[in-house]
Amino acid sequence: MDIADGQLSLRTVRAGKSISKAALAALIAVVLLAGCDPFSSSHGSAAPKSVAPTPTPTPAPMYSLPTPPASAAGGSATTLHWGTVFGTDTGMDDMLTTPMIMTLPGTVAQVGSSNSTEYALLTDGSLYAWGVGNTGELGDGSTQNSFNTPVLVRFPAGVKIAWIPTDVMPYDTGLAVDTTGHVWGWGENGGGELCLGSTADYATPVRLPFSSVTAVAGASNHATYDSHGTIWACGQNLDGDLGDGSTASTTTPVRVTGLSSSPVSTLTASFANSGALLANGQYYDWGYNAAGQLGDGKAGPQSDVPVAVSLPDPVAQVALGGSLWNNGQTLVILSTGALWAWGNNEFCQLGTGQFGVQPVPVHVDPPAGVTYQSLATGSGTAYAISTTGTLYAWGVSHVGQVGNGGTQTVCTPVQIASHVAQISSTADNAVVSLSAQS
């Protein structure tokens, strides 16, 4: 059994819904350390027990660069990353409890992440990766790890990348969309999430069967793609992750059903859930729901079709997290600037200061005088960038996910870094790009 930070390889657990008592005992021990519900493989409606708050440690001083190195184009060539990455058969690697600098050979336009690997897209259309690479997720043709040096993802000659998904990429897998609207994938493909009709892994990017792609998201061993205004899904589907009205897995595209006619602006994904933010501000999600992940007021039955989430105002931005059954959560910023959240809240990841299950969206207050402008969330940790570029974090931090130098759960947002432009977080890791300082 492959266990890494409470997340089991999809080649083991998600291939079936039952495991032996001995294996379950081992899983519980690991998951308790990981900050996840010990009964996370249950598909019943029972809510997880609340837990006593873990004292919030004294926050470390906010990480701030004196002057982030600027590229020739005038922007920043600097990223920061922290937490822990892991992959199939690798265990946990490169644990960092405070941000570490990763400098790129040019201006950083975007950052992205999977559980195992982190990515930086440069303004010249080149993409760099670092982290675990044993299933090809670095995209450089090798299966070697590279924790300290970014490596160039090897696309065919003439391919320039326009954007990458930030929320998020599948397990041990990379995704990117080029300037012509075609999407590329590489790394693990054990559930068929690359929609190529097979489960073969790829050590360099391969073009997927979609064009005019405007949104992409993936997690675990499933992914969704917006192509020509239609949402398609592929991969494993035990909890209705694909949103096609079934629980049948597939290595070829199936259409997500039940969305309104409004165009999709953003796709999201987590371990056993998917979501779609429409251009009209309506947010839909589907999949696992034992801890209220769907935000429909119920904690129990999954949904294999999209469910509309009721919120007081249109959604402007959404972040969906979770890396094992139960520990999934959603945070949204509304058009008014207000922060709302729902789902599992066993480790303060919703930011309400309370614990347990939150199946109905609830308003979350930021620190006094702070306005959030962008969000990210991992397995059980949440992040928000303020309008002044200050990064705040809260939630589980047993392997350094919060980034404040500690490994205790943090229930009150703490400042982690300044001059932050963008953030991506998937499981137990986070990566940010920095803006150049004048």
CA distance 236 to 430: 25
3-434 topology per CATH: Methylamine Dehydrogenase; Chain H (2.130.10)
Q: How confident is the model at residue 32 (pLDDT cuts 50, 70, 90)?
A: very low
Which residue type, as a one-letter code, is found at position 248? A
Cβ neighbours of residue 108 closer than 8 Å, sequence gap 6 or more: 75, 76, 77, 78, 79, 120, 121, 122, 123, 433, 434
Could you tell me if 131 and 137 are in contact, meaning their C-beta atoms sit under 8 angstroms apart?
yes
Tell me the percentage of the chain whose pLDDT exceeds 90.
Answer: 77
Place of tokens 């998917």: 274
Tokens encoding 196 = 């190529």
The two most distant CA atoms of the chain are separated, in Å, by 59
Handedness of CA 274, 423, 383, 134 (dihedral sign): positive
pLDDT at 76: 85
User: Which has more pLDDT, 44 or 112?
Assistant: 112
pLDDT at 116: 97
User: Is the confidence at residue 34, as pLDDT, over 50?
Assistant: no
pLDDT digits (tens, 9 = 90+) for 245-304: 999 999 999 999 999 889 999 999 999 999 999 999 999 999 999 999 999 999 999 999
pLDDT digits (tens, 9 = 90+) for 373-431: 999 999 999 999 999 999 999 999 999 999 999 999 999 999 999 999 999 999 999 99
The residues spanned by each domain of the chain are: 3-434
The predicted model scores a pTM of: 0.87
pLDDT at 356: 87
User: Is the confidence at residue 74, as pLDDT, over 90?
Assistant: no
Q: How confident is the model at residue 75 (pLDDT cuts 50, 70, 90)?
A: low
pLDDT at 91: 82
Cβ neighbours of residue 15 closer than 8 Å, sequence gap 6 or more: none
pLDDT at 353: 86
Order the strands of the 117-122 sheet from edge to edge.
108-113, 117-122, 127-131, 146-152
**Least reliable range by pLDDT among 15-29, 179-193, 412-426:** 15-29
Which residue type, as a one-letter code, is found at position 297? G
Q: How confident is the model at residue 57 (pLDDT cuts 50, 70, 90)?
A: very low
